Structure 1
């Protein structure tokens, strides 16, 4: 799928400019003024809008057990909500049960992340030491 995002204000690490962004197969292939749309490309009018990379949330607690309950969002609802707000990746805390191993916690979280609809990472947490 090819998408041409036309006429937005492109914001990146070193500048802000009015430009078009050409995306092919999920990869940005060109950024510039007055780019030509390839045949069959979807054209998105971004005039008056900012076009910028998605955000990364480095500290989340999805589907986290806590004192007999779980956090409100699981990986499906949490990643959908993140995407709606422009966050395209999150890093969730993978927390072992008291006395449990980090490997067991990781295996448990691997099952939970199957419902994710965005990119994610896991931060293994050391919660006790013996």
Structure 2
């Protein structure tokens, strides 16, 4: 796992802004400390980023996106590639997109289709909400399985 230190920036958290250094271990923020304390990290770092004169902010999560989604006879203009690249440039590090159950098909078919669109195309992390298009006993049973796999929200249009 690589260790990166982000030094000299103004760190913005949910509760404050402070001059601090950030230690990133792999893909996770491991610690935030005053520069004097963080000096000890330098010898174990794989890379050091000079953030002097810059803000250091946590990545954003966009919890409602529609990549490559068909709707009303059209499609969303962003693909998983273009949409997540744009998101990354704006500081978004995770999206939660809507996977759609095909009418007459299973929730699994819909989720697998959306994974096929996204896998290997995304510049950032992603997850899915599940849209139910054809609710019946089988779809309701599938929901528990999908929750166990990380799908934590479901949407159903009732109009």
Q: Identify, as 1 or 2, the structure richer in helix.
A: 2
Q: Does 1:84 align with 2:85?
A: no
SS at match of 2:132: coil
After alignment, is 112-121 or 66-75 more displaced?
66-75
Q: Does the C-alpha gap of structure 1 residues 44 and 129 become closer, same or farther in structure 2, counting only changes over 3 Å?
A: same
After alignment, is 20-29 or 87-96 more displaced?
20-29
Contact 2:5 2:22 in 1 (8 A): yes
TM-superposed CA distance for 1:11, in Å, is: 1.2
Deviations 1:63-110 (A, max 9, x none): 111234321111111111111100000000112344544332112111
Equivalent residue, structure 2, for 1:28: 29
Deviations 1:1-28 (A, max 9, x none): 3322111111112322110112232332
Q: Which has the higher contact order (CA 8 A, sep 6+)?
A: 1
SS at match of 2:15: coil
After alignment, is 91-100 or 80-89 more displaced?
91-100
Within 5 A, what are the aligned runs for 1:5-24?
A: 5-24=6-25
RMSD (Å), alpha carbons: 2.0
Gaps of at least 5 residues in structure 1 are none
Gaps of at least 5 residues in structure 2 are 137-159
- Length-normalised TM-score, structure 2: 0.71
Equivalent residue, structure 2, for 1:51: 56
SS at match of 2:61: strand
Contact 2:101 2:134 in 1 (8 A): no
SS at match of 1:88: strand
Deviations 1:19-48 (A, max 9, x none): 011223233233112222125642222122
